[in-house]
């Protein structure tokens, strides 16, 4: 026998484990238990799964990239270029970074010690990633250029690049 949603038998109280409950209450309880079972099955997979992946790029879209990792902390630097560009730094291992637009019109601006590689899109001028002087072996991602990341919600460390030498 098939029961339809408008069947009056679905609206009345049902005895379950000695407690009078409506079918709707039973359905909600079943959904809650199902979610708990699913959560317990997925939890080990979440712990062992890959790192989160983010995509990002410049304003015009000519420069696109993907980066994997946990954003645990970002930093703000007060050096002359970072202060003027509003860069929000997240340093990642180059193995976790992939440029999706290898033919992108990327330019490099260097100054001072000529150590940093201040990369930017030649079309729109946005610096979505770079190689910093303080960590030239890392990719320095501008978190403000990542899609779906609330930069204001991240813990921020402050780096005194103006006095660093």
Coil, helix or strand for 155?
Answer: coil
* Per-domain boundaries in the chain: 11-48, 53-159
Nearest to 161 by CA among 74, 80, 91, 73: 80
Q: Is 87 exposed, middle or buried (0-12, 13-18, 19+ CB in 10 A)?
A: buried
What is the pLDDT, as a whole number, of residue 30?
52
Alpha helices in 51-159 (DSSP H): 80-85
Which pair of tokens denotes residue 52?
């989160």
Nearest to 118 by CA among 106, 105, 131: 131
CA-CA distance, 155 to 115, in Å (whole number)?
27
Q: What is the pTM of this model?
A: 0.69
CA-CA distance, 129 to 91, in Å (whole number)?
9
What is the pLDDT, as a whole number, of residue 39?
39
Name the residue with tokens 């039973």: 26
3-class SS shares of the chain: helix, strand, coil, % to 5: 25, 30, 45
pLDDT along the chain (165 residues), means of 10: 40 41 49 46 46 96 97 94 93 97 92 90 96 92 97 93 81
Name the residue with tokens 């699913």: 38
CATH class of segment(s) 53-159: mainly beta
What is the pLDDT, as a whole number, of residue 158?
95
What is the pLDDT, as a whole number, of residue 140?
96
- For residue 123, give every residue at least 6 positions away whose Cβ sits within 8 Å of its Cβ, in sequence order, or none: 58, 60, 62, 105
CA-CA distance, 141 to 99, in Å (whole number)?
12
């Amino acid at each position: 026998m098939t029961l339809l949603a408008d069947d009056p038998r679905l609206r009345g109280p049902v005895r379950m484990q000695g407690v009078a409950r409506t079918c709707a209450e039973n359905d909600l309880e079943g959904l809650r238990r199902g979610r708990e079972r699913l959560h317990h099955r997925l939890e080990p997979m979440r712990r062992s799964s890959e790192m989160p992946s983010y995509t990002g790029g410049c304003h015009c879209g000519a420069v696109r990239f993907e980066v994997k990792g946990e954003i645990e902390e970002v930093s703000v630097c007060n050096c002359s270029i970072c202060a003027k560009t509003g860069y929000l730094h997240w340093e990642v291992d180059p193995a976790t970074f992939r440029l999706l637009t290898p033919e992108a019109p990327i330019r490099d601006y260097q100054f001072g010690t000529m150590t940093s590689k201040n990369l930017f899109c030649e079309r729109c001028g946005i610096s979505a990633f770079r190689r910093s002087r303080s960590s030239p072996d890392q990719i320095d991602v501008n978190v403000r250029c990542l899609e779906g990341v609330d930069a204001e919600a991240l813990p921020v460390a402050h780096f005194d690049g103006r006095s660093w030498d």
